[in-house]
Chain A
Amino acid sequence: MLSLEHVSAGYGGFQALFGVSLEVRAGESVAVIGPNGAGKTTLLRLISKLIDPAEGDIRFEEESLKSVPPHAVVCRGIAHVPENRRLFPRLTVEENLRMGAFTSRKKFEQRKEVVYGLFPRLKERKDQAAGTLSGGEQQMCAIGRALMSGPKLLLLDEPSAGLAPLVVQSIFELVRRICAEGYTVLIVEQNIRQVLKVVSRAYLLDAGKIMLSGSSEEFVNSKQIQKAYLGL
């Protein structure tokens, strides 16, 4: 469904990714793990075309995204939940969802019910300004907003960042449910132990390069991962 082929990218003079190749197949849930500053967020920004690749190609459903402008990516079927959620704080929950459905307005009512079914808490707070929600509720709202576009591929950038430990548990439970619903998910996370329980495959990104790839079990059992990232 999605494939990156030897992609390099950066900001100005700073190069963040070096010849990264990865693949996500339809129906799969894939994680990209790695330490702070490894280039995980850059990778997702690249897929959403918020930045352009310097080298290599990004293909989605057999078509190159290279010449697609950033605001047209969502119409192709890619929804991106950005780092720090980035809700519109002074819009209500429902208005945030409405923005998520900007490109598919006719489906708004139908998808809204799906999202409220997935996150009943959001329905209770639908007329509340998004900035007044708790961290966990904001993350639900951000994921709900992304689902409103009816995506084929969902990109999640550190959904557990900045949340209390108890809330982190419930967010990963939600991610697991979304994967089970049949969405194709690409998730980047620092919380390696938790995310490996949710996804089926993973890549290790460090210093802008893919260091390792394999199934979640292979990752959990890998000596390299255990020693460097799981503290075992």
Chain B
Amino acid sequence: MEIFDIFLLEAVLNGLLLGGLLALLSLGLNLIFGVIDVVWICYAELIMCGMYAVYYLHVQYHWPLIAAMAAAIVMVALLGVVLHQLVIRPVLSAEPINQLLVTGGVLFFLQAAATLAFGIDFKNLGVSLPPVRLGEMSFSAARLVAFGAALAGVLGLYLFLNKTYLGTAIRAISQDRAVMPLMGVDPGRVFVITSAIGGALAGLGACLLVLQYDVHPAIGLSFGPIIFLICVLGGLGSMAGGLVAAFVFAQFISVGGFFFAIEWGYVIAFAFFIAMMFVRPQGLFRR
């Protein structure tokens, strides 16, 4: 194979790995919107909190990494429940713009609180996995782990939503909220459970990101917008759409970055997003 082709293949495969991670990150946001009809614009800040949780438990308190990650997932799940009960529930029947603004307020609140509590310096987990070589190509092991865990998360959620009563009720409530009490389902309870699952997915995302990136109070801003745009591109609330959009977006970033420069990858991806908003404003998959 020509050296150019090998690098291109490497870029495509790296895009695939990135796509898996982005797919997982968009999943929680899509689930919340699909079920509760509110956009958690502060979703990436929940991930930031999870990254700090892993960092402090592992580095400061010397917990084993796996235990620190499990605890972080539980903590962010609880954070999701707190967010729902304190902030979302009072605005459930408010105008969408107000819901967006209030979760936007939470975004900056969490950022400021993290700055206050943890300072502005970049914190590194200090875990480095050796790169995995495949022929003449080289991949980051952290990315491979993230890809595998992301796929497991997506599959787990899929099975939960399709094979259990509670999961079916979560899908049902997104189709007709008002009729749920006649099924004996308390919608308020389902919302709390959904918020916990959305939080747990953010926590899982945090565990995978903290393997690859340093954590700092503003890290949410570096991938929060991408997660949100992926959800919009896929059709907000459509989980299948979000998955497809995540892989499309990741290829633009990875392959676009290969042909030009890495910064160009993002420019092309966002330009594609804007163009798609003209062509298919409802997203790839209409809900």
Query: Residues on A close to B: CB < 8 A?
Result: 48-50, 69-75, 79-80, 82, 86, 88-91, 95, 98-100, 102-103, 105, 145-146, 149
Does A88 contact B172, Cβ atoms closer than 8 Å? Answer: yes
Does B185 contact A71, Cβ atoms closer than 8 Å? Answer: yes
* Distance in angstroms between the alpha carbons of A146 and B175 in the assembled complex: 18
Does B186 contact A69, Cβ atoms closer than 8 Å? Answer: yes
Cβ of A158 to closest chain B Cβ, rounded Å: 15
Task: Check B134 for interface membership: any CB of A closer than 8 A.
Answer: no
Which residues of A lie under 8 Å from residue B186 when comparing CB positions?
69, 71
0/1 interface trace, chain B 169-193, chain A, CB 8 Å (1 if under): 1011001101111111111000000
Does B165 contact A50, Cβ atoms closer than 8 Å? Answer: no
> Considering only CB atoms, which chain B residue lies closest to A45 in the complex?
B182
Task: Check B138 for interface membership: any CB of A closer than 8 A.
Answer: no
Does A86 contact B181, Cβ atoms closer than 8 Å? Answer: no
Does A102 contact B165, Cβ atoms closer than 8 Å? Answer: yes
Task: Check B115 for interface membership: any CB of A closer than 8 A.
Answer: no
Cβ of B238 to closest chain A Cβ, rounded Å: 11
Does B184 contact A103, Cβ atoms closer than 8 Å? Answer: yes
Q: What are 27 of the A-B contact pairs (CB < 8 Å)?
A: A48-B182, A49-B181, A70-B181, A70-B182, A71-B184, A71-B186, A72-B184, A73-B184, A74-B183, A74-B184, A75-B184, A86-B176, A86-B178, A86-B182, A88-B171, A88-B176, A90-B171, A90-B175, A95-B168, A98-B165, A99-B169, A99-B172, A99-B183, A99-B185, A100-B183, A102-B183, A145-B183
Does A91 contact B175, Cβ atoms closer than 8 Å? Answer: yes
Interface of B is mostly: helix
0/1 interface trace, chain B 147-169, chain A, CB 8 Å (1 if under): 00000000000000000010011
Does B168 contact A74, Cβ atoms closer than 8 Å? Answer: no
Given the interface pairs A69-B186, A88-B176, the reply to whether A48 lies near B169 with Cβ below 8 Å is no
Given the interface pairs A90-B175, A91-B175, the reply to whether A71 lies near B180 with Cβ below 8 Å is yes
* Distance in angstroms between the alpha carbons of A89 and B179 in the assembled complex: 12
Which residues of A lie under 8 Å from residue B169 when comparing CB positions?
99, 102
Does A88 contact B175, Cβ atoms closer than 8 Å? Answer: yes
Given A72-B184, A99-B172, A102-B184, 13 other A-B residues pairs in contact with their CB atoms under 8 A: A69-B186, A75-B184, A82-B179, A88-B171, A89-B175, A90-B171, A91-B171, A91-B172, A95-B171, A99-B168, A102-B169, A102-B183, A103-B183
Does B175 contact A80, Cβ atoms closer than 8 Å? Answer: no
Given the interface pairs A88-B172, A91-B175, the reply to whether A50 lies near B181 with Cβ below 8 Å is yes
* Distance in angstroms between the alpha carbons of A95 and B185 in the assembled complex: 15
Which residues of B lie under 8 Å from residue A50 when comparing CB positions?
181-182
> Considering only CB atoms, which chain A residue lies closest to B166 in the complex?
A102
Which residues of A lie under 8 Å from residue B181 when comparing CB positions?
48-50, 69-71, 73
Which residues of A lie under 8 Å from residue B182 when comparing CB positions?
48, 50, 70, 74, 79-80, 82, 86, 146
> Considering only CB atoms, which chain A residue lies closest to B182 in the complex?
A80
* Distance in angstroms between the alpha carbons of A91 and B172 in the assembled complex: 7
Which residues of B lie under 8 Å from residue A89 when comparing CB positions?
175
* Distance in angstroms between the alpha carbons of A154 and B180 in the assembled complex: 17
Q: Which of B168-222 contact A (CB under 8 A)?
A: 168-169, 171-172, 175-176, 178-187
* Distance in angstroms between the alpha carbons of A80 and B182 in the assembled complex: 6
Cβ of B174 to closest chain A Cβ, rounded Å: 9
* Distance in angstroms between the alpha carbons of A70 and B181 in the assembled complex: 6
* Distance in angstroms between the alpha carbons of A73 and B185 in the assembled complex: 10
- Tell which of B181, B182, B186 has the most Cβ of chain A within 10 Å: B182
Which residues of A lie under 8 Å from residue B171 when comparing CB positions?
88, 90-91, 95
* Distance in angstroms between the alpha carbons of A79 and B182 in the assembled complex: 7
Q: Which of B168, B176, B187 contacts A98 (CB 8 A)?
A: B168
Instruction: Enumerate the 6 nearest inter-chain pairs by beta-carbon distance, A residue then B residue, closest first.
Output: A70-B181, A103-B184, A74-B184, A71-B186, A71-B181, A86-B179
* Distance in angstroms between the alpha carbons of A88 and B168 in the assembled complex: 10
Does B176 contact A102, Cβ atoms closer than 8 Å? Answer: no
Which residues of B lie under 8 Å from residue A82 when comparing CB positions?
179, 182
> Considering only CB atoms, which chain B residue lies closest to A80 in the complex?
B182
Does A105 contact B175, Cβ atoms closer than 8 Å? Answer: no
* Distance in angstroms between the alpha carbons of A98 and B166 in the assembled complex: 10
Which residues of A lie under 8 Å from residue B187 when comparing CB positions?
71
Which residues of B lie under 8 Å from residue A91 when comparing CB positions?
168, 171-172, 175
Which residues of B lie under 8 Å from residue A149 when comparing CB positions?
184
* Distance in angstroms between the alpha carbons of A49 and B176 in the assembled complex: 18
Which residues of B lie under 8 Å from residue A49 when comparing CB positions?
181
Cβ of A96 to closest chain B Cβ, rounded Å: 8
